[in-house]
Amino acid sequence: MNSAHIFPYVAWLVALFWIWKTITAARGLPGIPDITSPQYDVAPEGSPSLTVIVPARNEAADVAACLQSLLRQDYANLQIIAVDDRSTDQTGAIMEALAAEHPDKLYVLHITALPPNWLGKPHAMAFAARHATSDYLLFTDADILFRPDALRRCLAQAVATNADHFVTLPTPTVKTHGEGMLLGFLQVLGLWATRPWRADNPRAKRDFVGIGAFCLLRSSVYQQLGGFEAFHMEILEDLTLARQVKLMELRQRVAIAPGLVKVHWAAGAMGVVGVMTKNLFAVFRFHVSFLLMACGWLALFYLAPIAFLAWPQTRIPAIVTLAAIALLYRLAGRLSGISAWYVVLFPISAMLFIYSLLRSMFITLAQGGVTWRGTFYPLAELRQKKTFVS
């Protein structure tokens, strides 16, 4: 068959996959509970105790606002452990000043050295968890902002659904068009990686959600998972933990909460690229072949439909594909608040994402490892760490 005759089949195949993804998302996304709705404005049954763990390294610019938002929570049975993880700025001093004002709520731990065979963030969270005696543990980041009723609503839903692992999808704060463009792209791309509406299905092993901004666990389940000691060399510890929850057939629950938990990812489009550069190669377990296959898939599913518009034989499937992408942007935007109009920039976002993938790979390979929270980790050591179970 002439190669030119293959293109219409390829174009229609891509279109059919996008249609399938859009239909499944249209059916599934509305099923994710929105805990900002009035029926979720309740207290957790039994008032279980909750410890919030906030690890921070050189987060002087954000940590005060994060801790203050936690201190304003309307849930009484709450303790906060802030961890100063080898900071060289005023992070520790800011934490101590707030702890002095709220000695009954906020406790500060200081880490001055990182043990061998540990990544900084998992170590900080594991270290803090050893000091917690509560029924539930919430692991979050130092740049997250919580509405005063956030923890009460989330914990109430976790208790009501008998969740072992509860994830609330944070609302991104978008300050520039570049941020909106890339974050809108990422939320749609994420729907190819997992179906969050199936996270509570124990048979859907590949559908799991892990968010470092809001990782709520029963303390007993945290111990059952082996704590973060089991993920001591995982750069993507949130995803690793979430996958382990599903593999162990524990109960994972996901909720949306527009405006309840907020995060500003990074400043500008290139700031988002910088964040992705640190993480993306780790998503593929540092395998070059997997990353290059992902680049090829992105080119086929996001860039090829634009090229197909130029050829009469592929124009109709290309238009169908673009319509499906636009609808998916709209569906995802209802959850995140990111404007669906950013769909017009998705080819630029796709190219920037491919650039981030390749940049992450080349930088890691050139350095022979990853610098994470001020510590260098050789690539050979990271590749040897296998914390997934099957």
By the 8 A CB rule, do 242 and 182 touch?
A: no
Q: How confident is the model at residue 388 (pLDDT cuts 50, 70, 90)?
A: very low
CA-based nearest residue to 143, from 57, 268, 77: 57
Among residues 164, 280, 301, the alpha carbon closest in space to that of 223 is found at: 164
**Triad 245, 250, 256: Cα angle to 5°:** 75
pLDDT of 389 reads 32
pLDDT score, position 215: 96
Q: What is the DSSP string of 232-259?
A: TT-TTHHHHHHHHHHHTT--EEEEE-TT
Which of 114-118, 174-178, 376-380 is the least confident region?
Answer: 376-380
Where is pLDDT greater, at 276 or 99? 99
Q: What does the pLDDT look like over 291-333, one tens digit per residue?
A: 999 999 999 999 999 999 999 999 999 999 999 999 999 999 8
SS3 350: helix
* pLDDT tens digits, 5-48: 788 899 999 999 999 999 999 999 999 999 999 999 999 999 99
Given a cut of 70, whether residue 4 has pLDDT beyond it is: no
Q: Which domains does the chain have, with CATH numbers?
A: 3-29+268-369 (no CATH), 32-170+211-263 (3.90.550.10)
pLDDT tens column, 353-377: 999 999 999 999 998 888 776 778 7
Sign of CA dihedral 14, 17, 23, 25: negative
pLDDT the model gives residue 53: 98
What average pLDDT is seen over the chain? 92
pLDDT at 1: 52
Angle between helices 288-298 and 346-367 (to 10 degrees): 170
Backbone angles phi, psi at 108, to 5 degrees: -115, 135
pLDDT for 3 beyond 70: no
- For 38-69, give one letter per residue: b (16+ CB within 10 A) or e: eebeeebeeebbbbbbbbbbbbbebbbebbeb
Summarize the confidence of residues 142-147 as an average pLDDT.
Answer: 96
CA 387, 159, 77: angle at the middle one, nearest 5? 100
Q: What is the pLDDT of residue 304?
A: 96
Kindly report, residue by residue over 192-234, the tens digit of the pLDDT. 999 999 999 988 889 999 999 999 999 999 999 999 999 988 8
